[in-house]
Every structure is written in structure tokens, then in C-alpha cells.
Homo-oligomer: A and B are copies of this chain.
Amino acid sequence: MRKKFIVLAVLILCVTVSGFAEDEYTLENALDMVWLFLGASLVFIMQAGFAMVETGLTRAKNATNIVMKNLMDFCFGAIVYWAIGWGFMYGTVGLDAAGDAIPGKFIGLSDFFKNIMDDPVYYRDWFFQVVFAATAATIVSGAMAERTRFKSYLIYTCFISAVIYPIQGHWIWGGGWLSELGFHDFAGSTVVHSVGGWAALMGALVLGGRLGKYAKGSNGVVSVRAIPGHNIPLAMLGVFLLWFGWYGFNGASTLSGSSPDIARVCVTTTLAASAGAISSLVFSWIWFKKPDASMTMNGALAGLVAITAPCGVVSPGAAIIIGLVGGVLVVLSVEFIDKVLKIDDPVGACSVHLTCGIWGTLAVGIFGDLSILDNGLTRSGQIGAQALGVVSVGAWAAVTSLILFLLIKATVGLRVDPKEELVGLDITEHKSEAYAGFQIFSNT
């Protein structure tokens, strides 16, 4: 049965890559179109999920600012990904002797500002890809919440969507060097989540903590203050929306509506997310003596991020293990980044997307069915390929985003003034309140 599927998949790919054959738009093409369209729409609603999670887990005085960042990183991201990003990610670098396009090893260099009228395959694939690019970009807004200059965030977001994300994406999904080595990342634990996570970590590092977050006492010891979010139900709504959208994220990453792998993906995604929430809940309950809401929510997201790479190649049991480990890792990571590294990530974005993105990528090597991966690698070879991907993409994303944030800091400035931060970014950056009419305590 599998052989037939592969033949089918190869046929689909041929049609996909070369455009529909003249005079032919089969029902199979049509099903793929519908599948990818609806899958991409589901991924789009993850933008709302991110917006609600990040708003809910931060303070009321910055709520307008956060949702504005979440809207605008998609909007700017979509335009620059059309103009520039797509070309870097899926462009080619010339023609071979036979006249076929050659994909670059490290970068694509064609199809910028692609303004053609009639190319359903390009249109379809661009739509499916742009929502992934936007996901990587929007991860960062949470980690940089409550203290970043709005203008500077917009500059950052154009760069990640135009340059940082697409180039490493080319290595893995655009036919570049990592894909040639057998690196497997089904839906983007590395391509999307770890890249967003690295940029988030660098952004939070360059910014420094929010006012009052880390206070040096007279004895020289730095105390860490928890700053609670202002709307837990909204954050939970965001978690549900993210989970909902993730079915498109992982499911439609089969890229074909005719793939029976859709079925496995839906089961592994559901089980890993559930297991992640459970282990975060139990672990934080034991550790902190309370079933913590924000840890548990991040646990569900941790399971989702972790299963994103391996969702197509692992069994239900393995998915549960991947989720359980992810849920524990996210709690440890939140504490480590906050208490040890003293990097202020208000919503835990680095722990969810970076830590668990790495874990999920490695889990492909540990738990992946080699006969499904079917790339000639042994188990240790697969683990090595995954680790290489983690390290190389990590180096690329961390270095480029660090440079970017330092450059922004040195020029237009990255952070608002302390006075503005105290008042809140809604008033100082946007001249409006998020909750006009409500009595809200001034909270440092």
C-alpha cells in the first residue's frame, strides 16, 4: 500500500512542481487546492490565538499595543514575503543544461515581486507558506511585550519575514542543503517555531527585563518578581484558537489532500498537545503546589510545538511521550530563563517555541519510523541530521536576529522610555486605552 502512496505522492509532486499540465486540472488537483486553502485559513486564525495569549498573559496597560503588533506583523509580513521572502525561500538560481530550474543550496534568487496573473500552483503554495512565515514572526511579539517601541517592532518584523525566516526555510523546505541531508521537519518545529523562538530570545535579551521585574536588593541578590497577566480567559481562548489552527498547521503540511498521512497527523497532534498540558499541570502542581494556569496553557502549546516536526512519522504512544516531555521541559525552561538567565520573556514564548521546537526536532530522530522517513539514514544518522539542523538553523536565526536587534537599538532605539513603560504603551504609543471606562489599578 505504501508503495502506491509514494508513487501517488511523486505524481502529485511532479504536477505541483511543474504547474498543472496543459488542459488538465484534475479532481485530485482540486482536492489539494481545497485542502491547502482551508488548512492555510486555519493557520491564519493562529494569529488571533497568539494575540489573545499574549494579551491575556501581560498587563492591561499594554493590551492595545500587543494586539496591534500581532495584526501588523502579519500585514507587513505578508507584503514583504510576497515581495522578497518567497524568492529567497522557493526561488531558483538558474537553469541546468536541460533547461530545468536549479534550486540553490543556501538561498533562492528568483520570483521576487511575483505579479503574474495565472499560476494557481504558485498562488496556492504562496498562501499556504505566508501563514507559516507570519507564525514565525509573531512568536517574537510576546517575548518582547510591554517595553518595545512600536516602530522598532515593525522594522524587525519586516526583516524576519523577508530575510531571516525564508533563507533557512530554503535549506529545509526549499530544496536546500539540509533537506538533502535527510533532515526532517514535517510542519516546522525548527523552520517556524525555533526560528521565532531564537529571535524572541535575542529580542528579550537585547531589550532587558521590564521595569521592576528584576530588583537588586541591598544584599546584592537579584529578586525576581512575577508580573501576572490581566486576562486569563482571553489567554485560554488564545490557546484553543492556536490548537484549532494547529490542525491546519500540521494536517495540511501533508501538502496533499490525497495523503492518508493526514490521519496520523491528527491523532499525534491531539495526543501530544493533551499530554503536554497534563504533564505541565502535574509538574507545576507538584513543584509550585498549585495547578498553575499559565504553565498549563504553555504546556498544551509545548506539546503542539514538539509534535510539529514528528507528527507524520511517530505512533500515538510516541506522541504522548513527546508531549509529556515537552510539558515538563517548558516548565523547566520558563524557570531557567526567568530565574537563572534572568531574561524577561513575559509570556514564555522562548520556552514554548524554542526549547520545545528543539525537542520536537530531535524527537523525529529518536521516535521517527525509519521506514516512513525512508531517506536511507540509520537511527543515529537521523538523530545526527536532526541535531545538525537544530544547530545550524539556530546559529543562523540567533546571529542574524541578534545583529538586527542591536542595529535597531543603535539607530532608532528598541525600547521605550521608563516613563512611557510605567504609564503603559497603549497611552504613550497609541494614545488610547484598551479598556476605556474600566477601573484598572496602576500596576508597575
A residues engaging B (CB < 8 A)?
1-2, 4-5, 8, 20, 22-25, 27-31, 33-35, 37-38, 40-42, 44-45, 47-48, 51-52, 55, 59-61, 63-64, 66-68, 70-72, 74-79, 82, 113-124, 126-127, 130, 150, 228-234, 236-237, 239-241, 243-244, 247-248, 251, 257-264, 266-267, 270-271, 273-275, 277-278, 281, 288, 290-294, 296-297, 300, 315-317, 320, 369, 372, 426, 429-441, 443
Contact = CB atoms under 8 A, between A and B. Distances in A.
Given A1-B22, A71-B239, A288-B431, 8 more contacts: A29-B260, A41-B251, A75-B273, A120-B260, A123-B267, A232-B434, A290-B430, A290-B431
B123 A263 contact: yes
Contacts of A33: 257, 260, 262-263
A259 B231 CA distance: 43
Nearest to A122: B263
A288 B300 CA distance: 42
Contacts of A67: 232-233, 236, 293
Contacts of A37: 247, 251, 262-263, 266
B25 A68 contact: no
A291 B130 CA distance: 25
Instruction: Provide the main secondary structure of the chain A interface.
Output: helix
22 contacts: A1-B23, A25-B260, A30-B31, A37-B262, A41-B247, A48-B241, A60-B438, A67-B233, A68-B296, A71-B297, A75-B275, A78-B270, A78-B274, A79-B275, A113-B317, A115-B315, A117-B372, A120-B264, A124-B262, A228-B436, A233-B234, A439-B441
B76 A271 contact: no
A64 B233 CA distance: 6
Nearest to A276: B75
Contact of A4 (B23, B59, B60, B274): B23
B432 A228 contact: yes
A122 B186 CA distance: 21
A219 to B, nearest CB: 27
B82 A316 contact: yes
A377 B63 CA distance: 50
B79 A45 contact: no
Contacts of A75: 273-275, 277-278, 300
Contacts of A8: 25
Contact of A28 (B27, B61, B72, B228): B27
Contacts of A243: 44
Nearest to A74: B274
A262 B35 CA distance: 11
B440 A439 contact: yes
A387 to B, nearest CB: 24
A1 B27 contact: no
Contact of A25 (B4, B82, B430): B4
Nearest to A299: B75
Contacts of A244: 41, 44-45, 48
A342 B254 CA distance: 53
B258 A27 contact: yes
B429 A291 contact: yes
A392 to B, nearest CB: 30
A263 B262 CA distance: 21
Contacts of A320: 79, 82
Contacts of A52: 233, 237
In order of increasing CB-CB distance, the 9 nearest A-B pairs are A123-B263, A48-B240, A67-B236, A439-B439, A75-B274, A120-B260, A120-B263, A78-B274, A228-B436
